[in-house]
Structure 1
Amino acid sequence: MNYSAELKKFVTSQYVYSAIRITLATVLPCLVLAHFGILKEYFLFPLGTSFVALTDQPGPFIRRRNALTFAIVCFVFVASIASLVMHIKILVFAEIIVFGMFFSLIGVYGQRLAAVGSLSLVVMAIFIDGHLTGTNILKSLLIFASGCTWFLLIFLIVTTIQPYKLASQMIGENYLQLAEFLKIKANHYQKNPDFNKLTTQVIAKQIEIKNLQEETRETVFKTRVIVNESTTTSRLLMLMLLNSMDLHEKLMTSESDYEKLQNSFGDTTILVSIHDYLNLLAEEITNIGISLQIGTRAKPLYDLDEELQNLNHHYFELRNKKITPDNFENFMVLRQILMRINEITKEINEIYKVFSQNVKLAKSLSTGLDLKKFMPNEEKLNFKVLKNNISLSSSQFRHALRITIALLLGYLFSLFQFIGIGHTYWILITTVAILKPAYSITKQRNLLRLYGTIAGAVIAYGILHYIRINEVLFVMLLLSMIMCFSFLKGKYFWAVLFMTIYVFVSFNFLSPGNVNIIFRDRIVDTIIAAIITSLVAYVVLPVWEHTQNLDLMKKSAADNLIYFQSVISKFIGDGFNLEDYKVKRKNAIISLANLSDNFQRMISDPKNQQKKLEVVHQFVATSHLITAYTASLSQYVKDKEKYPEIDAEGWSRKIEAEMHKVSNLLNGEKITETLNRESRIEPEDSSLDDLILKRKAELAENEVYDLRDPDKISRLTELKNIHDVLELIYDVAKEQRKVIETYQNESHEKAEPVQTTLQQS
């Protein structure tokens, strides 16, 4: 592992940058207040700052600004109501019900408002018992509101000074994820690979890439200064993002029959050489990503042309020694893999070329695309959307009920004085942080929160017990805050661990000598909240992941079919539109990632709710292969190149019929005789067979071979690989159809209606 690169990736990421900004925005006022000896009296100021800061989700400037403003309004309103009714218990319960339902339901409008809703409930928890407000409520509310507004001011200043920073960091992170993806793909060529493990890793990485691409698209395509392409930087960032998406597709095209490759060439060193070269490419992509995050121009780390030349020489040397009429088709497959590697190398070189554009050449950087077509869909802010979700059929409404019930139980539990709970709000805050719409995520966060809190509390206890120097404690406070906010999105355990440390140190500054009380309360409150959320998540109208499978399988099958039709249309001669193709490619990848993500979450559900787990797993695996093989086929879509030797029309009808069968089965429809007949079509690739026989005859005559141009590929190799990819797509689509048919037959044996059974899967 390259530890230097890993450290740079982390330090230059948007998460660390955001964490430092939040920490400084929170701590600087504390230093001023501490200087005048009034920090304890004005503690709500930095608290308000940190709460508003946590609602700041990546995205376009206008949406972030509007969300922060809305968050301030919500926080001040909730704090006011909570402060006014805190002594009237019946009104407190009513407050929990109203706020719990409303602020959980606004999550239907997307992650940004979901974050505002969650933090609004945290504000309610803080003010619910007056623990931090004191007797002068109005003064406390004004201090809190000032702290909230302070972060909005910081946000406006920073984004004005650095309008491109977030977009650049997010695009950089896209490249870093692609580098990780390529490293996983490279491991297919190492000695004795674990193919099942690698497939799982590939699918998991696809989910991460999809989620990040969606967020980045929204940030870039809806940031006015970037979309208008008015500056060199804006044009550069737009091109770098679009190039990352094209690179993603090229990386997907490296899908091959790896087991066959290992059997054919496992006793040579060519596969290891491919593995090593792909890791070099991954390092170059990492270098591009880090440079984007920093905001500097990237320069190549290696001489890729020389490294690629060595790899090609290795291949031709092996080929000239080992090729025979019996194995030459295996060499064709390997030659095609090297050509794909050539294409990836060219793409990386092109990205470096774009990255190094001179200001005078900025006008040449243009996308020519209708960017609106690439935007993720989102709910519009209107009351009708909220109203339509007030139903038990809505997963968000069920989540709102669970949150409200859990908050009521947590508050009720805190009223039992004999337990000796000193911080009521910690139970409620932990409940809000843990309880999520999906049971699997709630279960995972519950355990991570518990482990992180215990570990953090033990470490913090040791720090406060042995370290008495305030300057040292302050530095540790700063570091723990930065680490907490940096890990909050991706590594929840570490985020909670560092959060617990900075909470302990903060309370020690405000009230020295109470570390034992804080330690006890923090642990006890976390355990109570964990128990409550576990029970509520399992008992109160849970939404199990298996209930989403059917719709996601339908969507993935439909989008894969549309994606394939878009690619094969070029071979048939139908009108091919590049922009339309890219949109369909995006939709297929997103649908596959959503299905895969749902399957991963289902694994964490209780065993009795993992309905037909193996069937879904097989469907996910075959869907991944169809998407990857279709991406491989798309690499032969060239403007002037025609392939009359391939019966594209026959393959199109045959494969589409098989894919339509899958959709029919998923929709509970019968497979028509027309589809059966179409799927049995034998494409007429006879001229290809003749070329292969001719080539075998040439090899039998002991032809001498010299090194060929590594940038060119023989017509026969190209045709053979197109034929093989089409055959692979058909075989996988057929396998996918058999998976659903087997499942359907099992359901009939149990006398269950097909549609009902599928809905349970």
Structure 2
Amino acid sequence: MNYSAELKKFVTSQYVYSAIRITLATVLPCLVLAHFGILKEYFLFPLGTSFVALTDQPGPFIRRRNALTFAIVCFVLVALIASLVMNVKVLVLLEIIVFGMFFSLIGVYGQRLAAVGSLSLVVLAIFIDGHLTGSNIYKSLLIFTAGCVWFLLIFLIVTTIQPYKLASQMIGENYLQLAEFLKIKANYYQKNPDFNKLTTQVIAKQIEIKNLQEETRETVFKTRTIVNESTTTSRLLMLMFLNSMDLHEKLMTSESDYQKLQQSFEDSMILVNIHDYLNLLSEEITNIGISLQIGTRAKPMFDLELELKNLNYIYFDLRNKQITPDNFENFMILRQILMRINEITKEINEIYKVFSQNVKLAKSLSTGLDLKKFMPNEEKLNFKVLKNNISLSSSQFRHAIRITTALLIGYIFSLFQLLPIGHTYWILITITAILKPAYSITKQRNRLRLYGTIVGATIAYIILHFIDINAVLFTILLLSMILCFSLLKGRYFWAVLFMTIYVFLSFNFLSPGKIDIIFTDRIVDTIIAGIIAFLVSYIVLPVWEHTQNLDLMKKSAASNLIYFQSVISKFLQDDFDIEDYKVKRKNAIISLANLSDNFQRMISEPKNQQKKLEVVHQFVATSHLITAYTASLSQYSKSERKYPEIDAESWSRKIESEMQQTSTLLNGEKVNEALIMESRLEPEDSSIEDMLLKRKTEIEENESYDRRDPEKISRLTELKNIHDVLELIYDVAKEQRKVIEKYKSETSIPPQS
């Protein structure tokens, strides 16, 4: 592992940048307040700042600003009502029900408002018993409000000074994820690879890439300064993001029959050489990503032209020494793989050129795309959407009932004082943090929260026991805050660990000498909250992932069919709508990732809820292959060359019939006999077979040619590869149809309404 690159990736990421901004916005007022000796009195100021900061999700400036403003309004309103009714227990219970339901339900409008809702419930927990407000409620509320508004001002100042920073970092992260994706793909070429493990890793990485692409697409396409401004930076960033999408597709096209490849070349080092070269490409993509995150121009790390030349030399040398009529087709497959690698190399070199692009070239850049078609779908902010989700058929409504129930149980439990609990609001905060719409995420967070709290509390206890120098403690507090906010999205255990440390240190600065009490309360409250969250998530209206499988399989099957039709259309007619193709490619990748993500969550659920696990796994695997093979075929669709030797019409009808049969079965309908007959068509690609026989005869008669031009590929190799890819798509589509036939025989698929 390149530890230097890994450290740079982390340090230059949007998460660290955001964490430093949040930490400074929170800590600087603390230093001023501490200087005047009033920090304890004004503690709600930095608390408000940190709460509003945590609702700031990546995205366009307008959406972020509006969400922060809405968060401030919600926080102040919740704090006011909670402070006024805290002594009337009946009203407190009613307050928990109303706020619990409302702030959980607004999650239907997307992750941004879901974050506002979750933090609003945390604010409720803080103010619910007046523990931190003191006797003067209105003064406390004013201080809290000022702290909330303070972060909004910081946000407006920073985004004005650096309008492109977030977009640049997010695009950079796209490249870093693509580099990791290529590293996984490279491992297929190492000696004795674990194919099942690698396939799982590929699918998991596809989910990450899809989620990040969606977030980045919204940020880039909806940010006015990025899309419309005629500045060099805005145009180059747009080009870099679009190039990352095309690079992703090229990386997907490297899908091959790896097991056959390993068997064919197990006595040679050529596959290991390919593995090593792909890792070099991965390092170059990482370099591009890090440079984008920093905001500097990237320069190539290696001489890719020389490295690729050496790789091609090894291939041609092996080919000329070992080619025979029997292994001839294996060398054709390998040659095609090298051509794809050549295309990826060209794409990376092209991206490096973008970095050194002059202003004139940048200003001439035009995507020619209708960007609105690529925007993610999202619910509009109207009451009708909220009203339609007030039903037990809505997973968000069920989640709202669960979280409200858990908060009520947590609050009532704290009233009885069965255990010596000193900070009852920690129970409610922990419940809000742990309990998520998906059972699998709740289960995972519950475990990580407990482990992180115990380890973090232990470390904090040791630090406070042995260190009494305030400057050192303050430095540790700062680092803990930065690391907590940096890791909150991707490394929850570590985020909780560092959060626990900085919470302990903060309380120690406010009330020195109470470390034993804080230690006990924090762990006890976390355990209580974890038990409540687990029981409620399992018992109260759970939504199991297997209930989502059918709809997601329908969408994936339909999207793959449309994607294939778009790609094969170039073989059937001359015109090829690149914009329409890219939209359909995007939809296919999103549908596949959503299905895969749902399957991954299902694995973490109780065994009795993992319905038809093996069948769903097979469907996910075949869907992934269909998408990847279709991406491979698309490289020829975008070419200007014609391939009349391919019986494209028959292949189109044959493959589409299999895919349509799958969709028909998923919709609970009977398969039309005409579709079955279409799938039995035999494409007339006989001319390719004749060309293969002729070439084999030439080899047998020692008429082998020492062609060493890596830029050129024989017509026969291209035709054979197109034929093989079409055959692979058909075979996988047929296998998927059989999987669904088995699925249908084992369960009752309701007919489509």
TM-score with structure 1 length normalisation? 0.98
* Contact 2:698–2:704 (Cα < 8 Å) also in 1: no
Give the whole-Å Cα distance in 1 for the aligned partners of 2:35 and 2:735. 71
Give the whole-Å Cα distance in 2 for the aligned partners of 1:542 and 1:186. 40
Q: How does 1:267-286 map to 2 (within 5 A)?
A: 267-286=267-286
Q: How does 1:294-309 map to 2 (within 5 A)?
A: 294-309=294-309
Amino acid at match of 1:623: S
What's 2:441 paired with? Answer: 441
Give the whole-Å Cα distance in 1 for the aligned partners of 2:651 and 2:362. 44
* Contact 1:442–1:537 (Cα < 8 Å) also in 2: yes
What's 1:545 paired with? Answer: 545
Per-residue CA shift, 1:413-441, capped at 9, x if unaligned?
Answer: 11122412111110000000000000010
Is structure 2 residue 239 aligned with structure 1 residue 244? no
Give the whole-Å Cα distance in 2 for the aligned partners of 1:11 and 1:754. 49
Shift, 1:360, TM fit? 3.1
Per-residue CA shift, 1:522-553, capped at 9, x if unaligned?
Answer: 00000000000000000000000000000000
Unaligned runs of 5+ in 1: 748-752
3-state secondary structure, aligned to 1:346? helix
Give the whole-Å Cα distance in 2 for the aligned partners of 1:675 and 1:361. 51
Q: How does 1:221-370 map to 2 (within 5 A)?
A: 221-370=221-370
Q: How does 1:76-115 map to 2 (within 5 A)?
A: 76-115=76-115
What's 1:16 paired with? Answer: 16
Further displaced range: 239-248 or 574-583: 574-583
Per-residue CA shift, 1:661-690, capped at 9, x if unaligned?
Answer: 100110011111100110000000011111
Amino acid at match of 1:429: I
Shift, 1:639, TM fit? 4.5
What's 1:556 paired with? Answer: 556
Shift, 1:574, TM fit? 5.5
What's 2:168 paired with? Answer: 168
Amino acid at match of 1:67: A
Amino acid at match of 1:625: L
Shift, 1:358, TM fit? 1.4
Shift, 1:638, TM fit? 3.5
Shift, 1:138, TM fit? 0.5
What's 1:750 paired with? Answer: none
What's 1:662 paired with? Answer: 662
What's 1:566 paired with? Answer: 566
Give the whole-Å Cα distance in 1 for the aligned partners of 2:76 and 2:253. 52
Per-residue CA shift, 1:535-576, capped at 9, x if unaligned?
Answer: 000000000000000000000000000000000000111532
What's 2:594 paired with? Answer: 594
Q: How does 1:529-544 map to 2 (within 5 A)?
A: 529-544=529-544
Shift in alpha-carbon separation, 1:461–1:201, aligned structure 2, 3 A:
same
Shift, 1:460, TM fit? 0.4
Amino acid at match of 1:431: I
What's 1:429 paired with? Answer: 429
Shift, 1:729, TM fit? 0.1
3-state secondary structure, aligned to 1:547? helix
Per-residue CA shift, 1:103-155, capped at 9, x if unaligned?
Answer: 00000000000000000000000000000000000000000000000000000
What's 1:128 paired with? Answer: 128
3-state secondary structure, aligned to 1:283? helix
Give the whole-Å Cα distance in 2 for the aligned partners of 1:208 and 1:229. 30
Identity of aligned residues (%): 86
* Contact 1:618–1:739 (Cα < 8 Å) also in 2: yes
Give the whole-Å Cα distance in 1 for the aligned partners of 2:647 and 2:366. 37
Amino acid at match of 1:239: L
Q: How does 1:345-744 map to 2 (within 5 A)?
A: 345-573=345-573, 575-744=575-744
Give the whole-Å Cα distance in 2 for the aligned partners of 1:359 and 1:161. 21
Per-residue CA shift, 1:42-68, capped at 9, x if unaligned?
Answer: 000000000000000000000000000
Per-residue CA shift, 1:328-376, capped at 9, x if unaligned?
Answer: 0000000000000000000000001112111232212221111111100
Shift, 1:704, TM fit? 4.0
Give the whole-Å Cα distance in 2 for the aligned partners of 1:360 and 1:678. 53
Per-residue CA shift, 1:448-486, capped at 9, x if unaligned?
Answer: 000000000000000000000000000000000000000
What's 1:755 paired with? Answer: 750
Shift, 1:740, TM fit? 1.1
Give the whole-Å Cα distance in 2 for the aligned partners of 1:538 and 1:238. 45
Shift, 1:492, TM fit? 0.3
Shift, 1:733, TM fit? 0.3
What's 1:25 paired with? Answer: 25
Q: How does 1:63-82 map to 2 (within 5 A)?
A: 63-82=63-82
TM-score with structure 2 length normalisation? 0.99
* Contact 1:80–1:141 (Cα < 8 Å) also in 2: yes
Amino acid at match of 1:100: G
What's 2:156 paired with? Answer: 156
Give the whole-Å Cα distance in 2 for the aligned partners of 1:229 and 1:318. 52
* Contact 1:313–1:707 (Cα < 8 Å) also in 2: no
Give the whole-Å Cα distance in 2 for the aligned partners of 1:120 and 1:88. 20
Amino acid at match of 2:598: N
What's 1:204 paired with? Answer: 204
Give the whole-Å Cα distance in 2 for the aligned partners of 1:506 and 1:254. 52
Amino acid at match of 2:264: S
Tell me the number of residue pairs that the alignment of Structure 1 and Structure 2 aligns: 753
Per-residue CA shift, 1:198-227, capped at 9, x if unaligned?
Answer: 000000000000000000000000000001
* Contact 1:653–1:678 (Cα < 8 Å) also in 2: yes
Amino acid at match of 2:73: V
Unaligned runs of 5+ in 2: none
Amino acid at match of 2:738: K
